[in-house]
Amino acid sequence: MAQVNLNVNGRVYRMACEDGEEEHVEQLGERFDAAIDELRSALGEIGDQRLMVMAGILMTDRLNDTERRLAEAEEAANSLRDVRTDTAMRIEGLEQSFAESLMHAAERIERIAERLQGLPDAPE
């Protein structure tokens, strides 16, 4: 198991992580530290423990917002899939109807052509 040192709020924390995950955990630590800096600039010095809790809540709120937006995007994608399926079925029905109409028209033209062939030639 690997370990990384994270600098959060001016303190170094040693964290264990899976081998190969070191860079990812370091990036997460940097994002968390940035959230703490953001809160500190907005609120001033309010105590380390309270600052950490507020940063955790801030990050959780952002995660919640992202999950909500993802769920909305998935719902919109599913809706578009349903519309696409309905449209494809309607197009298939229209194509079939058009093919049948074309076949009926061809049959009528053939009957008319047969009748015309049976007529005597017109005098010149």
pLDDT value at position 122? Answer: 61
pLDDT at residue 4 above 80?
yes
How sure is the predictor about 35, in pLDDT bands with cuts at 50, 70 and 90? very high
Using one digit for the tens of pLDDT, what is the confidence trace for 75-123?
A: 999 999 999 999 999 999 999 999 999 999 999 999 999 888 887 776 6
100 or 124: which leads in pLDDT: 100
| Predicted confidence (pLDDT) per residue in 43-68, tens digit | 888 888 999 999 999 999 999 999 99
Task: List alpha helices for the chain, DSSP H.
Answer: 22-43, 48-118
- What are the φ/ψ torsions at residue 12 (nearest 5 degrees)? -100, 130
Q: Give the number of other Cβ atoms within 10 Å of residue 4's Cβ.
A: 17
Q: What is d(CA 106, CA 100) in angstroms, rounded to the nearest whole number?
A: 10
CB neighbour burial string for 26-58, b if at least 16 within 10 angstroms, e if fewer: bebbeebbebbeebeeeeeeeeeeebbebbeee
pLDDT tops 90 at residue 31 = yes
pLDDT of the residue at 124: 63
pTM over 0.75: no
Average pLDDT in the chain: 93
pLDDT score at 108: 95
Place of tokens 């109409």: 101
